[in-house]
Structure 1
Amino acid sequence: MEATYAGSPPSSYDMSDYLGMLRRHWWIAVVLTALGVAAGAAYNQSLPREYVSAASVLVRPAGLDANVSGGRTRDEINLDTEAQLLHSTPVVAGAAKLLHRQDVDVLAASVTVEVPPNTSVLQVEYTAGDPLEAQAGAHAFAQSYLANREGNAKAELTRQADALRAKLKELSDDLTEINGRLGGLHSNSSAYASLDSQRDTTVNQINQLNNRVNALATETVNAGVIIQEARVPTRPVKPNPAVNYAAGALLGLLAGLGLAALRQRLDRRVHSGRDLVRAGIDVLGTVPGKGKHCTEVFTPFSPGGRAFNRLRNEVVAALKPGEQVVVVTGASRGPAATLVAANLAAALSRTGAEVVLIGAQVPDTLTESAPLAQLLGVAPTPGLSDLLAGRVNLAEATQRAARTPSLHVITTGGTATAAGMLQSHALRDIVATLRAHADYLVIEAPSTAASADAQSLASLADAAIVAVELRRTRRPQLTDAAEQLRRVGTVLLGGVVMPRLAHRARRKSAPEPEPALVETATPEPDPHTNGHKPRGEDQTIMLAPVDASALAELDEAHPR
């Protein structure tokens, strides 16, 4: 067996529970993630395309501007201010004129400007829904900005020149007045010397202003130059497929995890031994392998055989002196109890002990009929129902297993559906007789979910084991099974966890066979008979310790 869980039920889930949930419902997360990616792709396809083209403009001193070397904000040229000027009304209007458009507000919203650090360059970017339109817009704004800057510089030069000319006119008028006053004075007078000095000063100022006017007239205006023309963009910047696909995948994954958690919360099936622990049932062990490999009596040294050898040891250790009857029932319908009971009985008999296995479950799954008989290689009839009906005696109903001499089997028999037989006093007498003449008695009981027979049989036993089939047994069934067994005072040793088995449903179209018409299944050949079919009296070997007096007492109490 695998690890055994004991102790009080855990109050919360741990990481292994969440990993188990993810392992069971991984397909939900995968499907919803794929749907999320598909939704992201559809959303990406529905978005309008945006293309961006950029033109680089080198800003130079225009007119009398200061040197711009050294970056963005040095001296009188502030490149951050220049970047804002690209959104000014004159620049936007100039770009609209170049593009032959009237929607000035749309144009202003479509342009952005970046200033690379430690440069005198403006990066003019224009966004549009068409690649050619984006290129034309970036180029138009760059040209409009340079034209506006050059026009402003020329206007500034003209203003300065006009101011100097106005000053020259004033100085010329002053010089004319001084010359007129000098003409009326004697050259040796003190007033003449003062006016002569003023005349020299005025002449010098006039000469300086003339030089400045000449300099302004010859000033070359170069506001800047486009150092990188706008190009036609080859791919859109929006939408971003990678971002949309990743967002869709993430949302799909989150939705998948949420749906998996909801499904896990609504799923009432037993998925692992931890569900047994939460129901207050200790896990005696877990049968290894997959369902199709578990429908047999395991050999002693196979993984399944070693698992049931360990279960045998735990059961023997749990039984007190004088206790020898173990009932095995299933929490849900199916062959799980049959398989556990058969393998437990085989494991007990391998120790040399005399073991009797009583089949009391209606054979409606696993095989078409008599699963216990086919598992152990015995005839399906006569069996327990025939014995309870008084059609055969205990010796005739008891058969020796083909491969295990110390294992004796009482099958369900041909009248397994007779109502009330499992609650009869005859069964109590049979169990009492077998207690006296066998080392261990294993009873394969019907499922607690099928009828109250399991509870009746448990009242005759010293201990009980619940066979739990993963992904078929439900947690309420598990809780109900434990409660039924505890109410009759039977010690529940724990549960044996089995993988989900392949159930073969009973054919509804086939009528229920009459007891007298039940066919006898051919048992598996005994290796000691060289493949020959044993004859009738050899198939119904009576349990050796049961003597004639015991049979006489049993027949006297319950005459046929």
Structure 2
Amino acid sequence: MAQELGPSSRGMLLGAALRRGLILTIVLAVVGAALGFVGGTLRADSVTARTAVLIAPLEGNPFSPDGSGEDLMNLLTEAELVSSDAVARLSAEKLGVAIASEELLAGLSVTVPPNTQILEFEYTATDGDMAVRRADAFSEAYLDYRRARSEGRSNELTERIEAQIEQRVQEVDRLFRDLDEAPIPSQERTLLQGQIDSVSTQIGQLRTTLSEMGMGSSDPGQVITPAAISSSGFLNSRALYSLGGLILGLIAGLVLAVLRSERNASIQGVDDIEAASLPLLGQVRFSDLGVGPTRGESSASTFGSSWRQLRVSLLTQFRKRPLTILLASASDIPESQCPLSSWGMAEATASGTLDTILVDASGGLPQGGTDSHPGLTEVLRGQIELSEALVRAGDHLRVLPAGMAKEDIEDLLFSPSTSKLIDEVKRLADVVLIVAGPIRGSRARVITTMVDVVIVEAAGGVTGMQELANMSTQAVEPAELGGVIYVDGPRRLLARSVPYARS
């Protein structure tokens, strides 16, 4: 089971991810800067003209002289009115162009400065003269529309009041005729006189209201700031947009690096192993893994230099003889998986004239035609002697294959016979190399208690960073962690080598 990563391990994973993603981050930054430059260029091609209108209170409008002047919702309503189709049509008439209202309104924006009775018009267009003319047209059309609305409302009220006055005058004439016909003195005459006085008073009030309406102002407001091109300044410059795109590209690269570190991204080089605070024993190329057992012939002529360097690192660090080594994989792969460097490690020590025995406890070691040969499973069951199961694979190199019952290896490794077998193998060799599956698998864990050194193999593009980060010295106790062998090669070839099939 994977351990919870501490802050230091997370920092190492992030640092490694940043190093791996450096090229991608640079590419994203360059692309972001280029897109920002294009956006800045397009922005620079557009021009904005601004004008301001002071709203005057009018009768018959939401923002009227009877209000307190503090209800800004009225001004917001007026701002929305500017963007109406009616105002857009008036603006088109003033411009003398046949253009759809939607197209004309596309470049318009209206704002209300806080605690003011002012509307600010902004019109953006590709041409400065066009922006100025359209900003002026909208401000004038809006004022004309306000005036027309106010005058229309006033005319409507005037007509209604005049109609009421006419009705009252006719009523007074009728009452006077009735009064002339009434007897003197009489109660009827007194009642008619009272009605005449009441209707006359109403007529006077209506005429007063009509007179006051005629004295009202019809000024809807005025333009206090003529339309003019606003300076773009640094905010609209290409440099700022390019810088913004560059910063966004860098941020995108960092975010991807964080996501990759959190998603158990695969290692890409030896730097990732160092980032996980694990010692690097050596690095081998994928092409060197194809060197197989020579079957009694000297392997020195075909032995790669990377294996020689790995042998020097191993044997100078661990001088104990006999030396028992467990070689396991860092990846959490099936138990049958055999580390890709198994044969190379065995041939490396054997080419140094050290008697080497390679023990296959993984069940996946390519045997070169000895798959049906009795081996480890038969020895652990006591069916054959160790000397009968060993197969010579080259000068100073013998192999103990998995045997014919590979599926029983895991159960047999827990038997007391395993410890006795390892002691016997150590008496026959200078170096005993036992290969198993994943380092956190049950086979590797039981063998760890019987060996001197544990070596872990990590393959580029296959082994995950978190799999390395979860490893520690304590994970292989009581054995000593000898280091990590990094297998470098094309990712697709490494991924296909699970389990590894030799040529």
| Distance in 1 of aligned mates of 2:101 and 2:187 | 70
Cα deviation for residue 40 of structure 1 reads 1.8
SS in 2 for 1:188: coil
RMSD of the TM alignment (CA)? Answer: 5.1
| Distance in 2 of aligned mates of 1:129 and 1:260 | 46
**Counterparts in 2 of 1:365-514, with a 5 A limit?**
453=396, 459-461=428-430, 494=480
In 2 relative to 1, CA 197–29 (structure 1 residues): closer, same or farther, beyond 3 Å? Answer: same
| Distance in 2 of aligned mates of 1:27 and 1:113 | 49
Determine whether 1:32 maps to 2:24.
Answer: yes
Question: Is the contact between residue 110 and residue 120 of structure 2 (CA under 8 Å) also seen in structure 1?
Answer: yes
In 2 relative to 1, CA 118–258 (structure 1 residues): closer, same or farther, beyond 3 Å? Answer: closer
Question: Is the contact between residue 50 and residue 230 of structure 2 (CA under 8 Å) also seen in structure 1?
Answer: no
SS in 2 for 1:333: helix
Cα deviation for residue 149 of structure 1 reads 0.7
Cα deviation for residue 90 of structure 1 reads 1.8
Identity of aligned residues (%): 20
Cα deviation for residue 165 of structure 1 reads 1.7
User: Match of 2:70, as an amino acid?
Assistant: G
SS in 1 for 2:185: coil
Determine whether 1:212 maps to 2:213.
Answer: no
Query: Cα deviation per residue 1:59-114 (whole Å; 9 max; x = unaligned)?
Result: 332136322412224xxxx3333233222222111122233331211123433333
* Pick aligned residue for 2:80 from 81, 84, 88: 84
Determine whether 1:198 maps to 2:195.
Answer: yes
| Distance in 2 of aligned mates of 1:54 and 1:38 | 35
Question: Is the contact between residue 136 and residue 227 of structure 2 (CA under 8 Å) also seen in structure 1?
Answer: yes
Determine whether 1:152 maps to 2:149.
Answer: yes
User: Match of 2:309, as an amino acid?
Assistant: P
Query: Cα deviation per residue 1:188-247 (whole Å; 9 max; x = unaligned)?
Result: 344333333333333333333222222222222122233444441333769982654443
| Distance in 2 of aligned mates of 1:475 and 1:109 | 54
**Residue 43 of structure 1 corresponds to which residue in structure 2?**
35
| Distance in 2 of aligned mates of 1:268 and 1:202 | 105
**Residue 229 of structure 2 corresponds to which residue in structure 1?**
232
| Distance in 2 of aligned mates of 1:274 and 1:43 | 35
In 2 relative to 1, CA 34–137 (structure 1 residues): closer, same or farther, beyond 3 Å? Answer: farther
**Residue 138 of structure 2 corresponds to which residue in structure 1?**
141
Question: Is the contact between residue 70 and residue 115 of structure 2 (CA under 8 Å) also seen in structure 1?
Answer: yes
Determine whether 1:58 maps to 2:54.
Answer: yes
| Distance in 2 of aligned mates of 1:28 and 1:455 | 41
SS in 2 for 1:70: coil
Query: Cα deviation per residue 1:429-466 (whole Å; 9 max; x = unaligned)?
Result: xxxxxxxxxxxxxxxxxxxxx97747799844389987
In 2 relative to 1, CA 19–174 (structure 1 residues): closer, same or farther, beyond 3 Å? Answer: closer
* Pick aligned residue for 2:94 from 70, 81, 98: 98
| Distance in 1 of aligned mates of 2:6 and 2:395 | 36
In 2 relative to 1, CA 189–23 (structure 1 residues): closer, same or farther, beyond 3 Å? Answer: closer
Q: Which has the larger radius of gyration?
A: 1
**Residue 170 of structure 1 corresponds to which residue in structure 2?**
167
User: Match of 1:461, as an amino acid?
Assistant: D
SS in 2 for 1:57: strand
Question: Is the contact between residue 54 and residue 138 of structure 1 (CA under 8 Å) also seen in structure 2?
Answer: yes
Determine whether 1:180 maps to 2:163.
Answer: no
| Distance in 1 of aligned mates of 2:107 and 2:268 | 55
| Distance in 1 of aligned mates of 2:206 and 2:145 | 29
Question: Is the contact between residue 51 and residue 223 of structure 2 (CA under 8 Å) also seen in structure 1?
Answer: yes
SS in 1 for 2:142: helix
For these two proteins, the number of residue pairs brought into alignment is 332
Question: Is the contact between residue 36 and residue 244 of structure 2 (CA under 8 Å) also seen in structure 1?
Answer: no
User: Match of 2:67, as an amino acid?
Assistant: N
Question: Is the contact between residue 53 and residue 221 of structure 2 (CA under 8 Å) also seen in structure 1?
Answer: yes
In 2 relative to 1, CA 107–275 (structure 1 residues): closer, same or farther, beyond 3 Å? Answer: closer
In 2 relative to 1, CA 238–122 (structure 1 residues): closer, same or farther, beyond 3 Å? Answer: farther
User: Match of 1:220, as an amino acid?
Assistant: S
**Residue 308 of structure 2 corresponds to which residue in structure 1?**
334
User: Match of 2:24, as an amino acid?
Assistant: L
| Distance in 1 of aligned mates of 2:460 and 2:105 | 69
SS in 1 for 2:30: helix
In 2 relative to 1, CA 185–89 (structure 1 residues): closer, same or farther, beyond 3 Å? Answer: same
Cα deviation for residue 474 of structure 1 reads 12
User: Match of 2:430, as an amino acid?
Assistant: A
**Residue 253 of structure 1 corresponds to which residue in structure 2?**
254
SS in 1 for 2:307: coil
TM-score by length of 1: 0.47
Question: Is the contact between residue 72 and residue 115 of structure 2 (CA under 8 Å) also seen in structure 1?
Answer: yes
Cα deviation for residue 184 of structure 1 reads 4.3
Question: Is the contact between residue 13 and residue 276 of structure 2 (CA under 8 Å) also seen in structure 1?
Answer: no
| Distance in 1 of aligned mates of 2:354 and 2:150 | 113
| Distance in 1 of aligned mates of 2:250 and 2:164 | 75
Question: Is the contact between residue 114 and residue 124 of structure 1 (CA under 8 Å) also seen in structure 2?
Answer: yes
**Residue 72 of structure 1 corresponds to which residue in structure 2?**
72
Question: Is the contact between residue 71 and residue 119 of structure 1 (CA under 8 Å) also seen in structure 2?
Answer: no
Query: Cα deviation per residue 1:125-149 (whole Å; 9 max; x = unaligned)?
Result: 3343445444443332222111111
TM-score by length of 2: 0.51
Structure 1 unaligned residues grouped into runs of 5+? 1-8, 278-282, 288-329, 349-354, 356-417, 425-449, 477-491, 501-560
User: Match of 1:200, as an amino acid?
Assistant: D
Query: Cα deviation per residue 1:148-169 (whole Å; 9 max; x = unaligned)?
Result: 1111111222222222222222
| Distance in 2 of aligned mates of 1:275 and 1:219 | 85
SS in 1 for 2:138: helix
| Distance in 2 of aligned mates of 1:56 and 1:419 | 91
**Residue 105 of structure 2 corresponds to which residue in structure 1?**
108
Question: Is the contact between residue 53 and residue 224 of structure 2 (CA under 8 Å) also seen in structure 1?
Answer: yes
